[in-house]
Structure 1
Amino acid sequence: MRDQQHNGVSADLLAWYDTHAREMPWRVGPAARADGIRPDPYRVWLSEVMLQQTTVAAVRDYFHRFTARWPTVQALAAAPDEAVMGEWAGLGYYARARNLLKCARVVVQEHAGRFPDTYDGLIALPGIGPYTAAAIAAIAFDRAETVLDGNVERVMARLYDIHEPLPGVKPELKARAADLTPIERPGDHAQAVMDLGATICTPKSPACGICPLRDPCLARARGTAPDLPRKASKKEKPVRLGHVYLAQRSDGGWLMQRRPDRGLLGGMLGWPGSDWSEAPDPAPPFKAEWRELAGEVRHTFTHFHLILRIHCAELPKGPPPEGLHIVDKHAFRPSDLPTVMRKAYDLWRGQ
């Protein structure tokens, strides 16, 4: 495509977006933006972090709860870690929640509560990578940055009929998207491409007949759109095993353990247990009359499936074993646990 065609594609896309933009609780729509209403960088940042690895439908309720409880970056920065982790439970990838707090506190402490308005300034913040920095810069500050998510990759692969598989072809797809990014309204353009991928240029059965880019789309013309983008074959996820130990004292308190800051579920409160491996050591963390529960907990992480055996015991009052601490029954909230730990609690409660 020549420059004039690039401009035509962007203009057609923005015209479509002006009529068909999705309504989202964190978005300032095209009509409001035309009236001079600017997006709140805090809400844009929060939504982008939440949307990583999940869907708009899954995020809406979380976003409403977060912004009702912590309406500003200052409020979030001052929130207790456990409260934020509890609200995050179910979104997964708890490192994102930890970085969410780190980022909010850096913005408050080092930037007077204002998010940097450039890609370079944003990517220097904790937990903000290239995609998120580009998205915030474009959507919140109208910087002409190239935003590349799964929807944009799909649109570019089909528009240019690119058959090399992901993830290796990402640089080419980003270059194609950059060629289309306009100087004017780059934030609306970025959201328009994402909306197009989510509603028209969908993974299965794309609605090519009503697509605003149907004429320049090479994959539509060649009949290859349903096959794109191609993806390299995935390796099968391994299965790991583990044991967790639920111990409750006679006064209702629970013996719990905080996980190391680094690694899966880092910094989160959970049940003591074994390592997660092909042959975990089932040795209990301390002596007690342990009883293994019927059933098991199954949970899937990004890189492996986990199967846990659950053991429980009742203990008299007394100081906790080394490395553990007591959570009082009135302070214990299952909703504050990471999902896999809550599954273990649910299995115990059901027996």
Structure 2
Amino acid sequence: MRFLRVLLLLAVWSVSAAPLQARRPLPIGVVFSCGPEDSMFRSSLSGIKRARSELDVKITSYLCNYNSAEYESTVAEAARRNRLVLAVGSPLAEAVDRAARAHESADFVLFDAKSVNPGVSSVLFHQSEASYLAGVLAVRLAARRNSRKIGIILGERGEKTPAMLDFLLGFEQGAKDADGRTTLLKRSVQSWNAPQKAKAIARAMHDEGAQVIFQAAGLSGNGVVEAAIEEGFYVIGVDEPQERLAPGVVLTAVLKRFDLALFDVISARVGGHLRRGATLHYRLWNRGVELSWTSNALIPDELRRELEGLSYRIVDRAIRVASCYNDDGTFKATLKPLPPEFSASGSGKK
């Protein structure tokens, strides 16, 4: 009987071993092109924390601090150590393509760009829709200062990063729809991590008369906020609610919900629903992009109601906002890249 009992125990252990092994936390590597101070990283954190809390996963973060020399090796390391690799930031696109071909057993998802590799899933944010609202907001607040000049400062030119062109398309359309007489000043920092350069550009733009400046420039955008504090103009931020950086200066931010997208993708993979090569779209209707309203003191109630009404019209397709993406997520080849004058040294006037 004792021998039989031992056999039964061994049978139970052997049967239960497989489920225990299957329930081991899913190893996930999240690679960021940016560093820990960047708004894109901070926006992603709550999604990672939620996944750790609600799902059976083990998540390791890798930060490249915009060092392009580290992109390929960092993504490759994440692929060797994890079964799911999430690459956050369009600069990682080429590194993801190479790693996916070398590590076919791992699943890869590229955020903020469309991968050319059919085995890599992609997450796209239609930031032009929220940027349209930002354009209307900028014009309305500039008008309160008796100005028709606003500005936009981007991290890179659109031929390098389609998302940058998407910001511009929506912001410019919203501004022109709000007031066709608006002058939009445009600059590119040509870097995600040059806040002092961005600060100098913002000050020069304000000297030209811009009373509201939209910055979508990564860590460089902090320099725009510094200039606004010193010079007294308004700023629209990006990726996360940035009103806390300067409550009397930052109006709102064009949010790209990296937190939501990261949790959705991780949840889908844990549940076995993530399809390789799929493209996931985040828009106004699913709150993948939106304006933040952490502080409303600078924005009159009637203007907020106007923006909310415009948001519903965009969702209903009554307003069709220009985009740099085709329906399948590929970049529209018919669109021209940002012109040469869209630079730190050019006038950038339109």
TM-score, normalized by the shorter chain, greater than 0.5: no
TM-score tier after normalising by the smaller chain length: under 0.3
| Larger RCO, structure (CA 8 Å, separation 6 or more) | 2
Give the TM-score normalised by the residue count of structure 1. 0.22
Asked which structure has the greater CA Rg, the reply is 1
